[in-house]
Amino acid sequence: MKRLIYTLIAILVIIIVIVIAVISKNANITTLETSGDELQKITVSEVTHSVFYAPQYVAINLGFFKDEGLDIELINSAGADKVMTAVLSNDVQIGFAGPEASIYIYNEGSSDYAEVFAQVTKRDGSFLVARESGDFSWENLKGSHILPGRKGGVPYMTLQYVLRQHGINTDTDLNFDNSISFDAMTTAFVSGTGDYVTVFEPTATTLELEGKGHIVASVGEATEEIPFTAYFARKSYIENNPEIIQKFVNALSKGQTWVKEHSASEIAEAVMSSFPETDINVLTTVIERYKKIDAWSDTPKMSEDAFMRLQKVMTEAGELEKTAPYSIIVNNTFAEKVQ
């Protein structure tokens, strides 16, 4: 009897060992499969943190980038010039700012210039906020003090372009004050500097709700289509990492389509985690404003007409001596492959 018991125990031990070995093997296989599916981390330097870039935050928050195997880390560089510096110094892989930054770098003669590979916004996203409420017309801005942003930046040049279309010379007819940095303009305005300031959302709506200003005009609505914000990377990085860029553009395109097909309230819910300090009702109002002016591109592809119009704005602003070739600066290869 004892011999039988010992035999059964031995058999049981052998069975347990086999089961453990099988489980361990399967666990190792799972680990290997998981490691093969690890996300590729990509650092993106954004020009500012704004609801204006809703398609980007939708793509991040709804997992479109993760679906493509990418983990996106956002860094707010507060200015297109700083974004480009981060890209050229290899501190980040991708920059997100106005395409004018790529034009400037190319015209400086850089061989490893920044190529634009995806467009997000097609209009100026800033709003003109007045200190006092009342009837507004562009022509009545003569003699006023305006905080327009950084000289050479697209918001600055677009506003200048709009004012000139309404017969206002920004050099002689008003105080077009570019002495205050982009990230300090709101604080300066609230502190009493200027009669008007151009700001992005949700800052514009917040100022209005707090009784510190009044939204009187959309700069983007007053202009034709301009490629206002886009993604770019060093030419060498794109050449060496085409799969990553394609995955990035695929995810962005999903975000753009989602934004186009959903309501302002649905988009607000999707981007809420990116703006935790902003009330959901404010987000909805802001997004509705951007939808109203048709601010977002339907696809990542940038048209030649819009690109050349941007350079016209830059030239008239005195910031561009020679135009850059569309076929070199803009790389639509990845946008055209999006399914």
Q: Are residues 116 and 263 in the same domain?
A: yes
Q: Quick one: pLDDT at residue 136? A: 92
Q: Are residues 237 and 217 in the same domain?
A: no
Query: How confident is the model over 224-277, as pLDDT tens digits?
Result: 899 999 999 999 999 999 999 999 999 999 999 999 999 999 999 999 999 998
Summary mean pLDDT of the chain: 88
pLDDT at 80 over 70: yes
Q: Are residues 232 and 321 in the same domain?
A: yes
- Nearest-angstrom CA–CA distance, 242 and 130: 46
Residue 15 lies in a domain: no
Pairing relationship of beta strands 214-218 and 114-121 according to DSSP bridges:
unpaired
What's the number of domains the chain is made of?
2
Query: How confident is the model over 272-320, as pLDDT tens digits?
Result: 999 998 899 999 999 999 999 999 999 999 999 999 999 999 999 888 9
pLDDT at 23 over 80: no
Last residue of a domain, one of 189, 222, 255: 222
Tell the residue number behind the tokens 């709506």, with chain if given. Answer: 205
Residue 29 lies in a domain: no
Tell the residue number behind the tokens 């330097």, with chain if given. Answer: 45
Query: How confident is the model over 114-141, as pLDDT tens digits?
Result: 999 999 999 998 999 999 888 899 998 9
- Nearest-angstrom CA–CA distance, 265 and 318: 41
Residues 6+ apart with CB under 8 A from 34: none
Q: Quick one: pLDDT at residue 10? A: 45
* Domain ranges, residue 321: 40-123+226-337
Nearest to 288 by CA among 264, 272, 269: 264
Q: Residue range 318-335: average pLDDT?
A: 94
- Nearest-angstrom CA–CA distance, 320 and 16: 77
Q: Are residues 213 and 231 in the same domain?
A: no
Please give the model's pTM, rounded to 2 decimal places. 0.81
Residue 34 lies in a domain: no
Q: Are residues 106 and 250 in the same domain?
A: yes
